[in-house]
Amino acid sequence: MSTGNSLGDRYGYSGGMDFFTGNSTRGTGSFNMTTGQSMKGESGSIVLAVGKGYNSGGNLYLLAGDSSKESGGNVKLVSGASSKESSGQMTIKTSDGGQSGSLNIITGDSDQGLSGDIYMKTGSLFGSEYHKTKAGSIIAEVGFGNAGDGGDIGLIAGHTTARKASGGFGKIFFT
């Protein structure tokens, strides 16, 4: 399925495409995109890709639903499980370039209570004491430079302007 091409020199745009479920006063329908299962080989992939642009590339947005009464919708990116080998890897990376883009992980601001936490954790290991295995590690590594300074790393606890309140503590625990 595709829209028509446009080869105009000045104002030509190709056609847009919309997929959506209808509106409802009770609840809207889901939108599912799934590949079939394979009994003996690999299952198919789903690729969401934005076309290359001459001036700048287009954006890709994954937006969960807003709510005016309860919590907003969640965004979950989960790799595939395996009963015999390792589960699928997950990579979030900016592309290489003359200057690579930044990677920002930010929770939203709050005026009603707590702003969200950022929580990083590796999975636990459940195995036999006879096998030399270990749980996953968390490594923060700054890139090197061969024509300038190396990158910095910093951890900054939160500050407050509220009376009778304390700024955040810096804690590192080793067990």
Residue 16, pLDDT score: 81
Q: Which residue has the higher pLDDT, 145 or 95?
A: 95
Q: CB neighbours of 13 closer than 8 A, spacing ≥ 6? A: 6
Tens-place pLDDT, residues 17-62: 888 888 888 888 888 888 888 888 888 888 888 888 888 888 888 8
Query: What whole-number distance in Å separates Cα of residue 117 and Cα of residue 53?
Result: 36
Q: Strand locations in the chain, DSSP E? A: none
Which of 77, 75, 76, 73 shows the shortest CA–CA distance to 27? 73
Work out the percent of the chain whose per-residue pLDDT is above 70.
94
Mean pLDDT confidence for 148-164: 84
Query: What whole-number distance in Å separates Cα of residue 110 and Cα of residue 85?
Result: 42
Band (pLDDT 50/70/90 cuts) for residue 8 is low
| Cα pseudo-dihedral 160, 161, 165, 166, rounded to 10 | 40
Task: Decide: pTM greater than 0.75.
Answer: no
Tens-place pLDDT, residues 53-84: 888 888 888 888 888 888 888 888 888 888 88
Residue 170, pLDDT score: 82
Tens-place pLDDT, residues 118-147: 888 888 877 666 666 777 888 888 888 788
